[in-house]
Amino acid sequence: MSLNDLAIDVPHAAAGAAAAELRAALGDKVLLPGDAGFDAARTPWNLAVVQNPFAVAVPRSAADVVDVVRAAVLSGLRIAPQSTGHAAAALSETDLTHTVIVSLKGLRGVEVDAAAHTARVLGGSLWNDVLEAAAPHGLTAPHGSAGDVSVVGYLLSGGLSFYGRAHGLAVNTVRAVEVATADGTIVRASADEHADLFWALRGGSGAFGVVVAIEIDLLPVADIFAGMLLWDASHASEVAHAWAKWTATAPESATTALRILHLPPLPELPPFLSGRSLVVIDGAIEETDAVASALLGPLRALQPEMDTFARIPAPALVQVHMDPPEPSPSATWHAMLDELPAAAVDAFVAAADEPGLFVHELRHLGGALNRRPEGGGAIASLAGQYALHSVAMVPVPEAAPAATAAVHAGVDALAAWHTDALALTFIDAPGADRSLGFGAARSHLRQLKLEYDPANLFAAARPV
């Protein structure tokens, strides 16, 4: 009998018996409520989210992951793979009472094949791990703005990087995925092996299993022209209009973002940031210094208070966006825009004054991000020209409703320009219409979910 033949009868799982079974099968590789370490293990990167799972498994090898999958199935429990909990707010829509979070923090490591320009990355590795391993070979990868996001969680939901307009969605660099599936085996999925699962994983992510390793192509980029331009927020309108105009003709080699930031007066922030409202343009331009400098000319003409654009080692690109270096509590909301006319820019700037907003951001998309490469998976391109993203901090749980209202107001202010698409990686809140993230791939993804995970064992932040 296949393990999938065992129906998962979650509501009737006998909790005490299931806990004893898990302990017997997994020993100290599972943490149950009351165990030392359980609270730390269930706390995600997004500290605004309180996760109350049945248990947290802490595998240290691929074989451990298989043991966890088998034990959970036999105990009538579900599984939620989690590497960092950056997307814990998206997962919070799912009741975890009868779910084992599989925390992949103990499964990190990267092997680079310098000649082939590829890397094999263990399932819980962070982008910082990859950048550190690839840099000595003059290689890098299409990571996002934060180095402590996991490779698997980002890639398998698409991945928007500062290399995006030139190289496309980061998921297209995936060559193979080794995944523990619902039948308690490890399957290698690639263009030549389990091709339908390979297609589904590239977008379907944790809905299809626990990824224990992933193979990716690396970019032959040792250094990059990148940085930020920063002004006081009193210049927001002028800068935002100039950036919108600039992006209309910017080449695909340039991927940039515009943000209006309201920073709290925190002693850990440098004085030029602490307690200030700012407008910032940042990103990367894959050109020679001379070409990149000439391109930036119209933006530099606005006399930024700070200009850090210069050639930097590729791993330093992860510092440019100044994402929080430590776990922090936040609420976010997101929409996609097809165009950014002057009226939309005015609405963006006005909405940034919404009380409680921390970051109000537009990322320039288009270019290769709009193009689906041959052999791509379920998500291989993104419709839309700009990703709109609002973030509010949630310093105490009581602040959550106001923070949620602020990010919704920030994004809704541009409703007239929203388009029917969402970037899956930016869906990180309950209530988002995930069908807009999966688009045309959704119905085939759901068919494959029934085939590979008929009992709905795997709970993902972005369920198919």
Contact footprint for ligand FAD (CB under 6 A): 81-88, 91, 104, 123-124, 144-146, 149-150, 152-154, 157, 159-160, 205-206, 210-211, 323-324, 425, 428, 460-461
Nearer to ligand FAD, 145 or 385 (CB): 145
**68: helix, coil or strand?**
helix
- Work out how close the CB of 340 gets to ligand FAD at its nearest, in angstroms, rounded to a whole number: 19
Q: Which residue has the tokens 């998309």?
A: 365
- Residue 187 has φ and ψ, to the nearest 5°, of -115, 135
Pairing of the two strands 118-122 and 110-113:
antiparallel
Cβ 26 vs Cβ 51: under 8 Å? no
Cα gap 262→355, rounded to integer Å: 10
- Work out how close the CB of 198 gets to ligand FAD at its nearest, in angstroms, rounded to a whole number: 14
Determine what percent of the chain falls in helix, strand and coil, rounding each to the nearest 5. Answer: 35, 25, 40
**Which residue's CB comes closest to ligand FAD?**
153
- Work out how close the CB of 16 gets to ligand FAD at its nearest, in angstroms, rounded to a whole number: 27
Nearer to ligand FAD, 19 or 83 (CB): 83
The residue length of the chain stands at: 464
Nearer to ligand FAD, 157 or 247 (CB): 157
Nearer to ligand FAD, 4 or 205 (CB): 205
- Work out how close the CB of 45 gets to ligand FAD at its nearest, in angstroms, rounded to a whole number: 7
User: CA-based angle 335:338:342, to the nearest 5?
Assistant: 100
- Work out how close the CB of 301 gets to ligand FAD at its nearest, in angstroms, rounded to a whole number: 28
DSSP 258-297: EEEEE----TTS-TTTTT-EEEEEEEEE-S-HHHHHHHHH
- Work out how close the CB of 185 gets to ligand FAD at its nearest, in angstroms, rounded to a whole number: 15
Nearer to ligand FAD, 160 or 351 (CB): 160
Token pair for residue 59?
Answer: 């595998």
Nearer to ligand FAD, 19 or 262 (CB): 262
Cβ 424 vs Cβ 399: under 8 Å? no
